[in-house]
Structure 1
Amino acid sequence: MNDMTIDKELDQTVFARLQLEGRLLNAVFKGPTSTPRRIGFRGELALRFGPQLADEARPPELSCEQVMAVADVGNPHLIFFAGWLLSFEHLKDVAEVLGDALSPNGKYFLFCDNIDLSSRYQAHYQGAVFYVLPIVESTVYNEILELLYLDKAELKKKDTAGKLDAVADAGSKFDLCFDPISYAHGLELMGPVRDPNENRPV
């Protein structure tokens, strides 16, 4: 499959707007998965940009990192999304950036650095439900495999597209219920925001 075909298929998904806005960054994978007419993305979703100087690219001031997402060609919504946030507060930014790409039927998982390690929530925002979980296993990939009971050894046999398909397919069937919270209540429950630069060598 050539690049023009890949771009044409991407343009028929909700990723087209995000691509146009320059929000799909540091892609580990972006293109057709193993499932026909499905486009996947693994990388970083820019949520807020810094000031733009002349023609310089705007570096994001805020991002949702370690994103795994899939959309089907012709479907106006994301069917699966998972990512990491430094703070639960930024769920609002994710929801506003994704906007119409969200659906009540989609499965959306956010692993937040400042959520109590024993807590799991379902947060309703803009008509969508976000499963909000703490980050324990250090990466979204490890967390989502554990949550969905996927065998890491089995997935090692697949390429990146195959891994993303397996995670998205299992995630789409996820039906456990967590404690429901509003966004406002989540802000009250969240812990302090860690400085990501703390303890880094100078």
Structure 2
Amino acid sequence: MTDSTVLNEIDETAFARLEAEGRLLNPVLKAPTHVAGRFGFRGELALRFAAKLADEARPPELTCDQVMAIATRGDDKLPFFCGWLLSFESLKDVAEALGDTLSAGGKYFLYCDNIDLSKKYQVPYKGAMFYVLPILENTVYNEMLELLYLEKAELKKKDTAGKLDAVANAALKFDVTFDTITYEEGLQLMGPVRNPNENRPV
């Protein structure tokens, strides 16, 4: 599949604006998946951009890492998104970056480095509900497998798109409820932000 074909397909999904704004970075996957009409992304989401100096391309000031997300052709909402944040505070930046691609029925999971390891929350923000969880298994992929009761060994045979399909399919059915807190309450509960250069998950 050529780059132009992929771009045409992404233009028909909720990823279109994010792609146009240069937010979909370092993709491990940015292509149609094995589910008809579905487009998948694994990589980083740029949340805040650094000011540009002349033509110099600078890395974003803030990103959501280890992102897994899907979009469906012809639908302007993202049904599933998950990623890793150094600080719970950045939930606001994720919601603002995703903006009109969020929906009340979407499944959005954020693994935050500075929330209590024993706690899981639901946080309503900008008309969407975010599941906010601690990061225990070092990678968002492993965390999602654990949360969704997916067997890692069974997914090993699948390619990157197949793995994303399996996680997304299970995530779309996820209906466990956690304590609901406001974003402001979360800011009060979160711990200090760790130095990101020490043992940062990859």
Q: After superposition, where does 1:1-202 map in structure 2 within 5 Å?
A: 1-198=1-198
CA drift of 1:5 comes to 2.2
Deviations 1:120-163 (A, max 9, x none): 00000001000000000000000000000001001001000000
Summarize the Cα distance change of 1:183–1:31 in structure 2 as closer, same or farther, 3 Å threshold.
same
CA distance in 1 between counterparts of 2:114 and 2:64 reads 14
CA drift of 1:199 comes to 7.4
Structure 1 unaligned segments of length 5 or more: list them. none
State the AA in 2 paired with 1:120. Answer: K
SS state of the match for residue 60, structure 1?
Answer: coil
CA distance in 2 between counterparts of 1:59 and 1:35 reads 33
CA distance in 2 between counterparts of 1:154 and 1:71 reads 24
CA drift of 1:58 comes to 2.8
CA distance in 1 between counterparts of 2:26 and 2:119 reads 30
Aligned positions, number: 200
TM-score when normalising by structure 1 = 0.97
Summarize the Cα distance change of 1:135–1:51 in structure 2 as closer, same or farther, 3 Å threshold.
same
Structure 2 unaligned segments of length 5 or more: list them. none
Which stretch has the larger CA shift, 53-62 or 124-133? Answer: 53-62
CA distance in 1 between counterparts of 2:80 and 2:58 reads 27
TM-score when normalising by structure 2 = 0.97
CA distance in 1 between counterparts of 2:89 and 2:199 reads 23
SS state of the match for residue 187, structure 2?
Answer: helix
CA distance in 2 between counterparts of 1:8 and 1:199 reads 38
SS state of the match for residue 91, structure 1?
Answer: helix
